Amino acid sequence: MEARDLHTPVLLDRCVDLLAPALSRDGAVFVDATLGMGGHSEAFLERFPGIHLVGLDRDTDALRLAGERLARFGDRVTLVHTVYDGIADAVIDAGFSHADGILFDLGVSSLQLDLADRGFAYSQDAPLDMRMDQTSGTTAADIVATYGEGDLRRIFERYGEEKLAGRYARAIIAARAEAPIERSGQLVQILIDATPYAAQRTGHPAKRVFQALRIEVNRELSVLDRAIPASLSILPVGGRVVVMAYQSLEDRIVKRAFAEASASTSPAGLPVELPEHAPKFRLLVKGAELADDEERERNPRATPVRLRAAERVRDAA
């Protein structure tokens, strides 16, 4: 299947507009930290013929599909199999000292959602995997089989913001005592059976639990906590970063990191701000931008997106 048939890039025009000032010169380095199937990257390579792309992804299937899609750009493209908190090393290993523009499109990709055997979608029965990198790591089935009730409740509460976390944790412990829980369909049925009828009317019982398991499997929040500062550290003056988040836990991390980077470090009470304490970054959008109605109609996966962007205005030194 063609990559472009699987993926419609979210807020593509807005991302291009925000990063354009940083990528308009020949030789500029653009890092797509969440390459996916290359939809955003393809558009940037077409729009800015002088840039070099460093595309990162932990998913080998995504790298393969993106590589096929971007092959026509030849040596302007470097693809790297890595998690995006390795962004600084990836850029250096590709032969560059910095990145002029960086894009993060967070969360689970269209490829991972749409291919049933990856186990991300609660609407399709599949092996309970959820690894973005299928070459290594713990699966969701491993977590469901080995975590104690307290740990299951913790991740459902923390990463899924699930009000019925305790009930679901107990139900999983009871069910796995009878038989291994190895498929998404099994887990979905356990969660449905454990959900009061009134609560079932407020949304699918599996939605938040599946989100929590995916985040735990892939260590998404701890990775993001490291990745945003790492990305800011490799931007030169005039360099820009755009981050699109799809759930509140991700967006809080991005918001906090951008707020710290764009704040003055002057001690309280100084009559004037000393140059060395001036903010190193400025925010390019007010708050978090949302997709408009037209974008949501055209691409429903843009509905929850929260976009934030920043530009370096002062050297770290």
Strand partners, 49: none
- How far apart are the C-alpha atoms of 311 and 317, rounded to whole Å? 16
Q: Does residue 199 sit in the same domain as residue 237? A: no
Q: Is 203 left (phi over 0), alpha (psi -120 to 50) or beta?
A: left
Residues in the chain where the model's pLDDT stays below 70: 1-7, 109-119, 269-271, 273-274, 317
pLDDT of 20 reads 98
Of the residues 198, 218, 238, which one is the last residue of a structural domain? 218
Q: Is residue 77 part of a domain?
A: yes
pTM listed for this prediction: 0.90
Regarding whether 82 and 42 lie in a shared domain, the answer is yes
Does residue 47 form part of some domain?
yes
Report the side by side order of strands in the sheet with 240-245: 77-81, 52-57, 29-32, 101-105, 240-245, 306-312, 281-283
**Inter-residue contact 102 to 87 (CB < 8 Å):** yes
Q: Please give the pLDDT value at position 240.
A: 98
Tell me the pairing of strands 306-312 and 281-283.
Answer: antiparallel
Q: How many CA atoms lie within 13 A of 6 on its CB side?
A: 18
**Which pLDDT value is given to residue 114?**
58
For the chain, the domain total comes to 2
SS3 2: coil
Output the pLDDT for position 122. 82
Q: What is the pLDDT of residue 1?
A: 46
pLDDT, tens digit (0-9, with 9 covering 90-100), for 220-269: 999 999 999 999 999 999 999 999 999 999 999 999 999 999 998 777 76
Shared-domain flag, residues 10 and 91? yes
Compute the distance between CA of residue 140 and CA of residue 112 in angstroms, rounded to an integer.
14
How many helices and strands in the chain, by DSSP H and E? Answer: 15, 7
DSSP states of 149-168: HHHHHHHHHHHH--TTHHHH
Q: How far apart are CA 70 and CA 278, in angstroms?
A: 40
Write down which residue in 218, 245, 269 finishes a domain: 218
Q: What local confidence, expressed as pLDDT, does residue 269 receive?
A: 66
CATH number at residue 207: 1.10.150.170
Q: Are residue 148 and residue 79 in the same domain, yes or no? A: no
Q: Identify the pLDDT of residue 135.
A: 85
Cα–Cα distance between 98 and 87 in angstroms, integer?
A: 10
Give residue 117's pLDDT: 62
Asked if the structure places residue 317 within a domain, the reply is no
CB 284 within 8 A of CB 261: no
| End residue of a domain, out of 172, 191, 218 | 218
Q: Which domain holds residue 170?
A: 117-218
The token duo for 257 is 């990191």
143, two tokens: 């977590």
